[in-house]
Amino acid sequence: MGKFRSVLYAIFLLLPILISAILFKLPEKVKANLVFSPNEPSILRIYASQFVHYDSSHLISNMVIYLVFIVAAYILFNKYRQGETFWRAFAACMVLTPLVSSASWIIAGMIFTHLGNVGIYGYSAIASSAIGMFGSAIAIYLTLLGIERNFAFLAVLTFGLAFVPIVYGQAMLTSLLMTLCVLSLLYNPPHHINRQNICEAFIFLLLYQIGVQAMFPSVIFHGHAAVNIPSHYAGFSTGFLTTWALYNWKLESRKQGSAELSGKPWVSK
């Protein structure tokens, strides 16, 4: 039973890769009908476009980033006994990320009208959501060190995004985000920390930052194609915030259940 469950979990985690590999082999005319365009929105295109790739390097890079961070997130969530939260967040991200990604592109098309006819494809948004989930796992780790959970999530979120603006020449925004990150940590500094904790946190944050940087390259345009930055933001935010919401919901539900059993009034803090 244990081996069967492990195989089943592996299949679920590899599902985006398997779907992308299958769609990659389809004729280009068929794939063109699956690409999402704000002018021709449909549920099929919203979800199918997330797995369409025309270029093998695009496919492989997305596969590698997704696989590294979804596996890393899975390991950390289980290490901190949050496996249930991981699977709920994973399922939610698979449903929500394509919707949020497509919505972000529609909004971008409203702001930049020349994008109206441009289609989007590839599961960079889903890969970004895996990075967001990994970031949430780091935040959970920080809560175990004694940092209040919402400040821990805020610190990790701002740290992850802090170095993105500087890539595009917005150093001031980087400074503001890093300041917010530091203040979040100083407000409720960790009280259970040793050298091992510091080393682990450093490694986790370094990998996290590498993933974020991979999703936000300095070169956006490649010939007639462009990196879909809005969808990357959308995917990352969906992965991070969905996990944060589910983790909070689980803890608050547990508190409420304990209060009901004890007969004491429940107060959310």
The answer to whether residue 264 is domain-embedded is no
Q: Is the pLDDT of residue 230 over 60?
A: yes
The answer to whether residue 86 is domain-embedded is yes
> Angle at the Cα of 168 (from 202 to 97), degrees rounded to 5?
70
The answer to whether residue 268 is domain-embedded is no
The answer to whether residue 267 is domain-embedded is no
Distance of alpha carbon 5 from alpha carbon 161, whole angstroms: 35
Task: Give pLDDT, residue 242.
Answer: 96
Full residue range of the structural domain in which residue 155 is found = 2-248
DSSP 213: H
Please tell me the total count of domains within the chain. Answer: 1
The answer to whether residue 258 is domain-embedded is no
The answer to whether residue 253 is domain-embedded is no
Q: What is the pLDDT of residues 155-183, one digit of tens each?
A: 999 998 888 888 777 888 889 999 999 89
**Nearby residues of 109 by Cβ (< 8 Å), 6 or more positions away:** 38, 115, 116, 118
The answer to whether residue 205 is domain-embedded is yes
Question: Phi and psi for 257 in degrees, rounded to 5?
Answer: -65, -40
Q: Is the pLDDT of residue 56 over 90?
A: no
